[in-house]
Structure 1
Amino acid sequence: MHSIAVKVFNCVCEFGHQFEGWFDSVESLDEQIKAHLVACPYCDTTNVKRVPTASYVLASRDKAKTQISEKELEAEIRSKMYTAARKLLKGSENVGERFAQEARAVHQGKAPIRTIHGRCTLEDAEELLDEGINVLPLPEGVVHENN
């Protein structure tokens, strides 16, 4: 089993919810907070900050609690990515299979500027990127019918 050591940090959101975050370093936590990638587990806001954490030494029997497997870490990262992607989708318009055409129309000023999402082929996405149109491919399962 592969594992990595993580540090536990105390965080608080703008609404006063306190929670712990497990990160590999204080720098990693601060970068993720700045990029709004850390969300409160109670209210899902990304307006959070790190609060002072009392130092403590783990007893050897507790060290396993601060180590998680790569598989668990990947699952946690995937979960956070899906949450972030769903936040991007909030308030966006689902244009379905017309995504490539609608993205071009918005980019060219032929359609109202707004955030859209939909489906297109990999080739369509590559063409949009080549044309300077920013698109973000999302994995299956991120978009729900209510997005």
Structure 2
Amino acid sequence: MKVLNLQCAHQHEFEGWFGSEDDFVSQLGRGLVTCPLCGDAHIHKKLSAPRLNLRSGRDEPVPSMPTGTSVAMSNHTTSSELAALQARMLRALREVVANTEDVGERFADEARAMHSGETEHRNIRGEASPQEALAMLEEGIEVIALPLVPAVKETLQ
């Protein structure tokens, strides 16, 4: 198994597991390797060192960001901090998907019906144009735009 450090054109870093270098090249050529954050298919391999699993490091806790921490991005953000932030974003988006009903293109109609009391309130997600989203905000309906790339809706493997 070959574990590669990969990066998309938008500088999102992620890990890919492949049977061999040829397997990676083949999947990349067929457009099967995409960024789990943005869906970009313009992927390149980053330099990486072999991973050694040594007994001494197995019980050390993995550092994480405190809950509720607000993160400001700067040129001084390390790649490990960026990777941790990206992982938290994916987890948060997956939680949204797991706890909402997908109403698709009916989103604006469903949100308005709940807002006016025509239907029971529930957590929904779906599609709306920027104009529809702005109109709902002006009507007092709280909406937020979230990037839901395919990787958010399924388990990464």
With normalisation by structure 2, the TM-score equals: 0.47
Query: When you count strand as a share of all residues, which structure comes out higher?
Result: 1
TM-score with structure 1 setting the length: 0.50
